């Protein structure tokens, strides 16, 4: 049995190395699945199990070159980076790590919100540059403000728990309203348009699906209050980058805290951009230009997709991943994402 793990960070090596106890050959690669695929091919061509993170793109053109592949274990909750249709057609099982980052991501969303509304990042940056201008650091209280939560699942629910503790009014939009959250945290489930129109703050926790592509676009920004705060720790593709930028320039959006962006990998892996064959270059170059402009705006905080990354979350990811693989070897598909 050969197992290949991609996207391996230094702090994951010891735990993932334990796979050698259940497999005769284990390969740990720092590269994502689709990056340097040809140069890594001799190491991975006979893999029966692979494990990846969301940085990898598992599309049919490369999956088809692994004839022995039987199982994919993604070290993430989301699985939009995997061609599930191909996997289903070729009898390749796929598992994920559900709910590992519920608390972690919800807390991070509030960290972004607090930094924006209290001007933490701006004032700290100014001070490092020997600039002190107290008049520009006047913040905003969150108590009794109305926050709209788009996607009230496990992460959105934890966000509501924190918001409830701060005495905020909570509006929720979800295709399947959770009445437990409504009762425990005072979430008032409303239509999308009502949420957009009534919220002082909007936090996005929806999954990445075809239906959610540009769920928030120019028409949605038009419905929002002037000066609304936008937080996105879900997926960059849920918000139209150009529409957000225009709304920030006009003042419709008063501030944005973003841990995710469209074409975000180009900001952190510019040297590998031309290897990203799934990326439509012209489209991503335009979005990247806007992303760089967003980086210069004082009322925008951008972080490099790290909301999930805490010691506790990483421990959960690795523990569940090892268990998923062990269960597959025992003949059971745990946390199966192919229905």
CATH code, domain with 8: 3.40.50.720
* Structural domain boundaries enclosing 86: 2-100+311-329
Closest alpha carbon to 76 in 338, 329, 314: 314
Per the domain annotation, does 248 fall within a domain?
Answer: yes
Q: What pLDDT shows up at residue 280?
A: 56
Per the domain annotation, does 115 fall within a domain?
Answer: yes
Query: Which of 12, 75, 235, 237 does the annotation list as catalytic?
Result: 235
Q: Are 116 and 190 contained in the same domain?
A: yes
Q: How confident is the model at residue 306 (pLDDT cuts 50, 70, 90)?
A: very high
Q: What pLDDT shows up at residue 24?
A: 94
- What residues does 72 pair with on adjacent strands? 50, 94
Q: Are 70 and 120 contained in the same domain?
A: no
Per the domain annotation, does 158 fall within a domain?
Answer: yes
Q: Are 63 and 108 contained in the same domain?
A: no
Q: What pTM does this model have?
A: 0.88
Query: Is the pLDDT score of 273 beyond 90?
Result: no
Q: Are 121 and 79 contained in the same domain?
A: no
Q: How confident is the model at residue 266 (pLDDT cuts 50, 70, 90)?
A: confident
Q: Are 126 and 145 contained in the same domain?
A: yes
The mean per-residue pLDDT over the stretch 265-288 comes to 64
Please state which of the ranges 100-109, 129-138, 293-302, 317-326 shows the lowest mean pLDDT: 129-138
Q: How confident is the model at residue 281 (pLDDT cuts 50, 70, 90)?
A: low
Q: Are 34 and 53 contained in the same domain?
A: yes
Tokens of 168: 């905020």
Q: What pLDDT shows up at residue 285?
A: 83
Helix (H) or strand (E) holding 329: helix 311-329
Total number of domains in the chain: 2
Ramachandran bin of 91, using left for φ above 0, alpha for ψ from -120 to 50, beta for the remaining angles: left
Per the domain annotation, does 83 fall within a domain?
Answer: yes
User: Percent of the chain beyond pLDDT 70?
Assistant: 95
Query: Is the pLDDT score of 114 beyond 70?
Result: yes
Q: How confident is the model at residue 134 (pLDDT cuts 50, 70, 90)?
A: confident
- In this structure, what are the phi and psi dihedrals at residue 112, rounded to the nearest 5 degrees? -65, -45
pLDDT tens per residue, range 244-263: 999 999 999 999 999 999 98
Query: Is the pLDDT score of 323 beyond 80?
Result: yes
The mean per-residue pLDDT over the stretch 53-66 comes to 95
Q: What pLDDT shows up at residue 50?
A: 98
Per the domain annotation, does 272 fall within a domain?
Answer: yes
* Whether the Cβ atoms of residue 286 and residue 243 lie closer than 8 Å to each other: no
Query: Cα–Cα distance between 35 and 117 in angstroms, integer?
Result: 39
Query: Cα–Cα distance between 266 and 69 in angstroms, integer?
Result: 29
Query: Cα–Cα distance between 239 and 215 in angstroms, integer?
Result: 6
Q: Are 205 and 272 contained in the same domain?
A: yes
Neighbours of 276 (CB within 10 A): 18
Q: Are 237 and 283 contained in the same domain?
A: yes
Per the domain annotation, does 334 fall within a domain?
Answer: no
Q: Are 74 and 119 contained in the same domain?
A: no
Per the domain annotation, does 335 fall within a domain?
Answer: no
The question of whether 293 is a catalytic residue gets the answer: no
Q: Are 165 and 232 contained in the same domain?
A: yes
- What residues does 52 pair with on adjacent strands? 74
Query: Which of 264, 278, 293, 316 does the annotation list as catalytic?
Result: 264
Per the domain annotation, does 128 fall within a domain?
Answer: yes
Q: Are 277 and 321 contained in the same domain?
A: no
pLDDT tens per residue, range 5-38: 999 999 999 999 999 999 999 999 999 999 999 9
- In this structure, what are the phi and psi dihedrals at residue 179, rounded to the nearest 5 degrees? -70, -20
Residues 6+ apart with CB under 8 A from 154: 98, 99, 102
The question of whether 13 is a catalytic residue gets the answer: no
Q: Are 220 and 232 contained in the same domain?
A: yes
């Amino acid at each position: 049995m050969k197992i290949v793990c991609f996207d391996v960070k230094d702090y994951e090596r010891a735990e993932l190395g334990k796979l050698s106890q259940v497999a005769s050959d284990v390969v740990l690669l720092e590269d994502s699945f689709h990056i340097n695929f040809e140069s890594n091919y001799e190491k991975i061509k006979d893999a029966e199990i692979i494990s990846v993170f969301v940085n990898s793109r598992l599309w049919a053109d490369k999956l088809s070159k692994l004839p022995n592949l039987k199982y994919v274990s993604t070290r993430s909750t989301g699985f939009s980076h995997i061609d599930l249709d191909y996997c289903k057609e070729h009898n390749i099982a796929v598992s994920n790590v559900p709910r590992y980052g519920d608390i972690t991501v919800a807390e991070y969303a509030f960290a972004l919100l607090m930094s924006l509304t209290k001007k933490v990042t701006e004032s700290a940056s100014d001070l490092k540059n020997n600039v002190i201008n107290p008049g520009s650091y006047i913040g905003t209280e969150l108590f009794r403000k109305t926050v709209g939560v788009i996607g009230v699942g496990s992460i959105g629910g934890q966000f509501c728990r924190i918001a409830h503790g701060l005495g905020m009014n909570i509006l929720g939009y979800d295709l399947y309203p959770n009445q437990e959250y409504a009762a425990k945290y005072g979430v008032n489930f409303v239509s999308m348009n009502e949420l957009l129109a009534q919220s002082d703050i909007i936090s996005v926790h929806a999954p990445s699906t075809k239906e959610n592509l540009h769920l928030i676009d120019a028409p949605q920004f038009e419905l929002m209050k002037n000066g609304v705060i936008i937080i996105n720790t879900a997926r960059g593709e849920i918000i139209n980058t150009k529409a957000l930028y225009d709304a920030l320039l006009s003042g419709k959006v008063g501030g944005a805290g973003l841990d995710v962006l469209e074409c975000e990998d180009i900001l952190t892996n510019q040297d590998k951009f031309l290897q990203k064959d799934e990326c439509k270059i012209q489209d991503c170059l335009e979005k990247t230009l806007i992303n760089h402009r967003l980086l210069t705006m004082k009322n925008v905080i951008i972080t490099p997709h790290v909301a999930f990354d805490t010691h506790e979350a990483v421990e959960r990811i690795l523990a569940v991943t090892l268990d998923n693989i062990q269960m597959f070897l025992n003949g059971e598909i745990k946390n199966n994402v192919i229905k």
